[in-house]
């Protein structure tokens, strides 16, 4: 090994081996820090992915609709005298997007849009005997809407069958109304439309409010019920990058003059919570990394004091300041590297234990954690760089030792 490795590497490894117990403790300390960072990163990433899946799998990324109607205040009378009058916000009626086919085709051509689906949405009531429930009627194009919301994957009973006489309702609404697949419900809209539809399937979108509120019917059925024959009230979009939804929405609103509501705007509190979680996790990682760096630095400072005579002899024999610095920098890098390898193994074990222990009452995992190789590589690189950075001050201190003073102690 002496013939293959540079002198600095040989000295660094020898110093670590001679202080074996001390080296083991600092490597284990670094490993615990790496394990915490990797485990927490994988856990939070899995949690965020699960929350995203729950929120975004039940709604479009962007909804386009006509701008809200605004009352125009009267400024002056016939004689030119300024008139002040109370202004009330007009009631918002379901209305169709002008030239919606053209808007749909333009959206489909955008590079930042993945899927487009026209729909009709509006308030309605479902009735069965004496029971009634207010719902949100959603008329969809079955082939295109599943690219926005994967309804077939959410069906828990029945089938994803969409005809003029069928409807899909949530499991909570089915429980409230006391119905099951094959039963019939009367649907009435706000403008007096009235139809009797068959429950073709029950869905679970992972959101109690949505499962209780949304009723999906064929687009033409919703058009007939709402009196919006040939028109659509909304155009639903899925974008390439969900976090860019607000930017894309503002761009579309500027291009089309339509009101564009992104999932970020409609779920503002959820989005703020995700950002707060992200920043807090970054701060935790930072402080764990700093504690690891402080531990490595403190041990190497002690090592400099303990090895002062060896350093003095080395300098007296012609060793340069650069060589002394590299010896301690290499020690820091070795501690960081071995700590990252051991810590990654510990994190993998913790994640495996989490999968076995953290389960829902029905035995299914609370949420899926996927660990990428990049995460472990990033942790190894970060730990190694942390070890090198922590070794800078002890290395400088060792390099400044004068040979005679160091030998005398």
8 Å CB contact between 135 and 214: yes
- Helix 373-390 to helix 392-399 angle, to the nearest 10 degrees? 30
What pLDDT is stored for residue 55 in this prediction? 78
pLDDT digits (tens, 9 = 90+) for 155-198: 999 999 999 999 999 999 999 999 999 999 999 988 888 999 99
The CA dihedral of 157, 162, 165, 169, to the nearest 10 degrees, is 40
What pLDDT is stored for residue 274 in this prediction? 76
* Total Cβ atoms within 10 A of residue 120: 25
What pLDDT is stored for residue 1 in this prediction? 47
The CA dihedral of 103, 109, 112, 118, to the nearest 10 degrees, is 40
8 Å CB contact between 156 and 202: yes
DSSP state of 323: H
Tokens 């989005």 belong to: 271
8 Å CB contact between 122 and 138: no
Q: Where are the alpha helices (DSSP H) in 93-184?
A: 100-109, 142-145, 151-154, 171-177
What pLDDT is stored for residue 13 in this prediction? 81
- List the chain pLDDT tens, one digit each, 409 residues: 455 667 778 877 887 787 788 888 888 888 888 888 888 888 888 887 777 777 787 889 999 999 876 555 555 555 555 555 555 554 456 788 999 999 999 999 999 999 999 999 999 999 998 888 999 999 999 999 999 999 999 999 999 999 999 999 999 999 999 999 999 999 998 888 899 999 999 999 888 889 999 999 999 999 999 988 889 999 999 999 988 999 999 999 999 999 999 998 888 887 787 778 778 878 887 887 788 777 777 777 776 666 666 666 776 776 677 777 788 788 888 888 888 889 889 988 888 888 888 777 766 777 777 777 887 888 888 888 888 787 787 777 777 766 656 565 5
What pLDDT is stored for residue 145 in this prediction? 95
Q: Mean of the per-residue pLDDT values for the chain? A: 83
What pLDDT is stored for residue 3 in this prediction? 54
What pLDDT is stored for residue 73 in this prediction? 55
The whole-angstrom separation of Cα 91 and Cα 338 is: 68
What pLDDT is stored for residue 91 in this prediction? 47
8 Å CB contact between 226 and 147: no
Q: Dig out the tokens for 34 from the structure.
A: 């790496």
Domains and CATH numbers, the chain: 7-55+271-408 (no CATH), 100-257 (2.40.40.20)
**Partners of 123 in the β-ladder:** 136
Q: Which residues contact 238 (CB under 8 A, 6 or more apart)?
A: 60, 61, 113, 114, 115, 147, 148
């Amino acid at each position: 090994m002496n013939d293959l490795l540079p002198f600095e590497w040989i000295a660094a490894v020898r110093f670590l081996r001679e202080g074996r117990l001390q080296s083991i403790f600092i490597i284990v300390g670094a490993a615990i820090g790496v394990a915490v960072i990797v485990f927490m990163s994988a856990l939070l990433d899995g949690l965020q992915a699960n929350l995203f899946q729950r929120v975004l799998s039940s709604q479009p990324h962007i909804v386009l609709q006509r701008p809200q109607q605004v009352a125009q205040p009267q400024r002056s009378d016939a004689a030119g005298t300024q008139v002040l009058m109370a202004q009330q916000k007009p009631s918002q009626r379901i209305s169709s997007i002008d030239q919606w086919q053209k808007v749909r085709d333009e959206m489909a051509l955008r590079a930042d849009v993945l899927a487009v689906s026209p729909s009709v949405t509006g308030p309605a009531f479902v009735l069965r005997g004496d029971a009634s429930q207010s719902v949100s009627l959603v008329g969809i194009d079955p082939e295109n809407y599943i690219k926005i919301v994967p309804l077939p994957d959410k069906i828990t009973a029945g089938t994803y069958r969409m005809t003029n006489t069928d409807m899909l309702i949530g499991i909570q609404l089915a429980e409230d109304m006391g119905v099951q697949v094959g039963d019939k419900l009367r649907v009435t809209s706000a403008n007096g439309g009235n139809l009797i539809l068959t429950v073709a399937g029950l869905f679970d979108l992972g959101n109690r409010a949505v499962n209780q509120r949304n009723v999906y019917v064929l687009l033409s059925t919703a058009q007939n019920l709402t009196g919006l024959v040939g028109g659509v009230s909304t155009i639903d979009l899925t974008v390439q990058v969900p976090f860019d939804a607000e930017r894309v929405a503002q761009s579309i609103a500027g291009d089309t003059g339509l009101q564009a509501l992104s999932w970020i705007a409609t779920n503002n509190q959820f989005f703020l919570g995700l950002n707060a979680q992200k920043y807090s996790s970054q701060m935790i990682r930072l402080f764990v990394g700093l504690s690891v760096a402080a531990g490595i630095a403190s041990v190497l400072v002690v090592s400099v004091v303990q090895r002062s005579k060896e350093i003095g002899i080395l300098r007296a024999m012609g060793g340069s300041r650069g060589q002394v610095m590299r010896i301690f920098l290499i020690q820091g890098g070795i501690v960081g590297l071995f700590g990252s390898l051991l810590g990654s193994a510990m994190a993998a074990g913790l994640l495996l234990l989490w999968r076995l222990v953290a389960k829902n009452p029905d035995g299914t995992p609370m949420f899926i954690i996927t660990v990428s190789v990049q995460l472990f590589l990033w942790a190894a690189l970060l730990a190694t760089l942390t070890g090198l950075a922590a070794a800078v001050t002890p290395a400088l201190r060792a390099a400044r030792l004068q040979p005679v003073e160091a030998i005398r102690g």
